[in-house]
Amino acid sequence: MIKAQLKISGGWRTRHGAHTWLRIRAYISTLRKNNIHILTELRNAITGNPWLPTVLTTT
């Protein structure tokens, strides 16, 4: 995916910008894998209520 971003926009101006873009892509990928509506959950994350996968605990 990084190569596609480089081809489209020529890259990022800062290392921080690249890191932020990759974190967002990873979050979207996780939402897709869990069949979660992406736009709704991005809005929720921006408003301070991000979706987090459930953690299984063993007893």
Q: Looking at residue 30, what is its pLDDT?
A: 93
pLDDT of res. 40: 96
Total residue length of the chain:
59
How does pLDDT run across 1-21, given as a tens digit for each residue?
556 555 556 566 778 877 888
Give pLDDT, residue 19.
Answer: 85
- Rounded distance, CA 49 to CA 47, Å? 6
pLDDT at 29: 95
Main-chain dihedrals φ then ψ at residue 47, nearest 5 degrees:
-85, 5
pLDDT in tens, 45-57: 999 999 988 888 8
Is the pTM value of this prediction over 0.85?
A: no
pLDDT at res. 48: 95
Torsional sign, CA 31, 37, 38, 44: negative
Q: How many CB atoms lie within 10 A of CB 39?
A: 8
